[in-house]
Amino acid sequence: MLSGKGVRMKLDKLQKKILVILLSLCLITPIGILLPMVFNAGDAWGEWSAHTLKDLVGYVPQGLAKYSDLWEAPLPDYAINTTDTSVVHQSGFYIVSCIIGATVTYVVMLLISKLIIKGGK
């Protein structure tokens, strides 16, 4: 069963090294918004907002209009403040979003794995 240690686990040398690599990757994620800007690339295919889709096909499909605002994410588009369009600030928000998201993902997956792998013992 889960010990009292919660999400704390003893990590070996290689595992600590991988965590450092992951954190470093978080710090360079702004590449993911800067490169598309430099090469003038837009949304991913099929991920347009209802507004952009209207420009593309001339109308907003009825069903799409009904569903598209179903969920209001707390940090939409990995930005802390979507109205602040300065590239430097957006890069900073992107890094913070990455660290928040990756940390939550890591902890949730760690807990799930513990429950699955140790739960049966």
Partner 1 sequence: MHIPDGYLSPQTYIPLIGVFVTTTAIAVKKVKNELSAHNIPYLGMAAAFSFIIMMFNLPIPGGTTGHAVGSAVIAIIFGPWAATIAVSVALIIQAFIFGDGGITAIGANCFNMAVFMPFIAYYIFRLLCKFPTGKPGVTFAAFISGYLSLVFAAILTAVEFGIQPMIASTADGKALYCPYNLSIAIPAMAIEHLLLFGIVEGIVTALIINYFLKNERDLVYAFRKGGKNETR
**Is the CB of 59 or the CB of 89 nearer to partner 1?**
59
Which residue has 């837009």 as its token pair?
A: 42
**Is the CB of 9 or the CB of 87 nearer to partner 1?**
9
- Which are the contacts of 98, defined by CB distance < 8 A and separation ≥ 6? 26, 29, 78
Look up residue 81 and give its two tokens: 């403040």
Q: Using CB under 8 A as the criterion, which residues of the chain lie in contact with partner 1 when the complex forms?
A: 9, 11, 14-15, 18-19, 22, 25-26, 29, 31-33, 35-36, 38-47, 50, 53, 57, 59, 61-78, 94, 97-98, 100-110, 112-114, 116-120
What single letter denotes the amino acid at residue 2? L
